[in-house]
Structure 1
Amino acid sequence: MEAWKRHGAQIVGVLDRQEAALVRGMVGQIKDMLDARVAEQPEDELAALTGIRTGHSSPPEDPILARLLPDFHRVDLDEHGELPPSAAADMDAAAAMRSLHEPELLDRKTGVAAVVLRTCPPDGGVARLSEEEAEAWLTAINDVRLALGTALQITEDTPDVLPEDDPRGPHYGVYQWLTWVQESLVQAVVGGDEFAN
């Protein structure tokens, strides 16, 4: 894939068949995980009366989903790494915040994934994105990177090149490619790499 370029009001990228399949496959997997979380939301009789949707009150057990759907209110541990006596109130607040805000976050994340699946050519080719679609791509690719980074246990200390015998190697290459795709798209969105008609 060449770098994304701005073409007037559009952001244009060309993906080969394998790149398109990779983007569609990984974004599709994230969307499936998020859709499953939506399907498991508890039913709320008050939502029908008030119009206020509520979701899960506890974080996902899956570490990838937990990374994609972080707590909306953090419970701080004391200096010994233990829950302080006041933790019960903090945990109640965290549960209430998650219940109120997670449905909207899930809508946003599944929505941007749907935009990528709609605009990424299935067999490769030219992707022509509006500014809004490009923003959706940025969010969806970031979600894929967060998920992959969590699965591969990537940290700030992870070197650019892994040892040859590291089993994460092939997937780490995908992570690095997605990082480049995201950075290239950011540059095109903010106005760089424009070319004439």
Structure 2
Amino acid sequence: MAGQFEAVPGGGAAVALDEIEVSILRSLAVQLLELIGPGDEPAADADPLAALFAEGPSEPPSDPALARLFPDAYGGPDAKGDDAGLRDASAEFRRFTENDLRGRKRADALAVVRTLDSLAVAGEDGAVLKLSPDESRSWLGALNDLRLTIGTRLEVSDDDGDELYHLPDEDPRKPMVMAYLWLGALQETLVGTLLP
């Protein structure tokens, strides 16, 4: 089980993590929470009906990683044809969906932090993290968001697959590439536990 998720009876997943892996995952999840930020959400005491129809931002984020997490719904940066119409449609869609999407991404990252905080790691041997089916889905969302963010920062493209595995140790991207690949392996094995 070391380093990969396995299905557990009754649903959910489990993975053995050592103290360093827990620390890295927690740090990455906290950084993701900071990147996503609080968003433009209505106050907790606001009218529930008004909160349901609260408008979010209409402009795409300027940070490339956030733009990857919250992409335009129509067209995108390479859109052809009626660019103004696509931009207007994307702005309208973003205005009514981004707050909810931002909230879900925050909830997923927070679930990672909370489950890791509840894990008692005993020395170098580590511990086994057991996730319920709901926690597994939250972890899957957070792992995906982390990989998208790191991949954007590394400017990963489809053509980079082999190059990432052969970076020299002195390359400053190496630690982030290692995290990117490790998160991909975790994500892949977690998906395997959720399939029927």
Q: CA deviation at 1:166?
A: 2.9
Aligned to 2:140: 138
Q: In the alignment, which residue of structure 2 is the partner of 1:88?
A: 84
| CA-to-aligned-CA distance 1:147-167 (integer Å, 9 cap, x gap) | 001111111111232244432
Question: CA–CA distance in 2 between the matches of 1:8 and 1:54?
Answer: 42
Match of 1:162 in 2: 167
Which structure 2 residues correspond to residues 31-46 of structure 1 after superposition, within 5 A? 31-36=33-38, 38-39=39-40
Task: Quote the residue 1:105 is aligned against.
Answer: 101
The letter of the residue matching 2:142 is A
Deviations 1:112-152 (A, max 9, x none): 11111111237452211111111111110110011001111
Q: Which range moved further: 158-167 or 67-76?
A: 158-167
Label 1:77 to 1:6 Cα distance change in 2 as closer, same or farther (>3 A). Answer: closer
AA aligned opposite 1:15: L
d(CA) in 2 for partners of 1:70, 1:182? 21
Distance across 2 between alignment mates of 1:98 and 1:138: 23
Structure 2 partner of 1:184: 189
Taking structure 2 as the reference length, the TM-score comes to 0.82
Cross-structure match for 1:195? none
**Aligned to 2:36, what secondary structure does the other structure show?**
helix
SS at match of 1:128: strand
8 Å CA contact retained: 1:15, 1:125: yes
Contact 2:42 2:54 in 1 (8 A): no
Structure 1: gaps of 5 or more residues: 79-83, 192-197
Matches within 5 A, 1:46-65: 49=50, 51-65=52-66
Percent identity for Structure 1 against Structure 2: 34
Bigger Cα displacement from structure 2, 7-16 vs 161-170: 161-170
Q: Is structure 2 residue 20 aligned with structure 1 residue 18?
A: yes
CA distance in 1, matches of 2:29, 2:120: 13
> Quick one: structure 1 residues 42 and 96, their matched pair in 2 at CA, closer, same or farther if it must change by over 3 Å?
farther
Structure 1 runs of 4+ aligned residues shifted over 4 Å read 45-50
* 1:42 and 1:56 in contact (8 A); partners too: no
Q: Aligned equivalents of 1:178 and 1:184: distance in 2?
A: 10
Q: Which protein is bigger by CA-based radius of gyration?
A: 1
Matches of 1:122 and 1:23 in 2, distance apart?
Answer: 15
May I ask how many residue pairs the two structures share in their alignment? 182
Q: What residue ranges of structure 2 are gaps of 5+ in the alignment?
A: none
Corresponding residue SS for 1:126: strand
Q: What SS does the corresponding residue of 1:14 show, helix, strand or coil?
A: strand
Q: Quote the Cα distance in structure 1 between the aligned partners of 2:6 and 2:50.
A: 48
Change (3 A) 1:46 1:129: closer
TM-score, normalising length: structure 1: 0.81
